[in-house]
Structure 1
Amino acid sequence: MSNAEEMKPEEVLRVELEVFRREHRDLDDAITALEQTGRADQLQLRRLKKQKLALKDKIAAIEDKLTPDIIA
């Protein structure tokens, strides 16, 4: 049995969350670097920003799953 099979669903979500956060930061750094060159390809920038937004949505969805609902 591998480690992935032994992990609880919540642990898997936490690992995925960390991976997505790292990818989000990397995209942010790449976008910033491209913008600072002053000659960034606008199409490439749009694609990177769209990818970053999709990661943000995935991060939010996982955080929602990990955060217990509080009933007021």
Structure 2
Amino acid sequence: MSNDPSPEMMAAIRLWSGVDCPNAAAARGLEDFPALMAEFEALRGTLVFEDEPSSFEAALRAEKEPGA
């Protein structure tokens, strides 16, 4: 049994958007998705948004557009 979720992702994209995977580059992009999801799953339970709210607010202020 294959662990490749690409066919299921392509079917979901087709279902939601009504288009097939447009080209080979898009299909290659989906190949990276399982590893990315595994990295996120490894972080589950270790990150909490509220850990450093002051740093988040400082980052927002640093990225604020001038005159906004």
Same fold by TM-score, threshold 0.5 exceeded?
Answer: no
TM-score, normalised via structure 2 length: 0.32
Structure with higher RCO (Cα < 8 A, 6+ apart): 1
Pick the structure with more helix per residue. 1
Give 1 or 2 for the bigger CA radius of gyration. 2
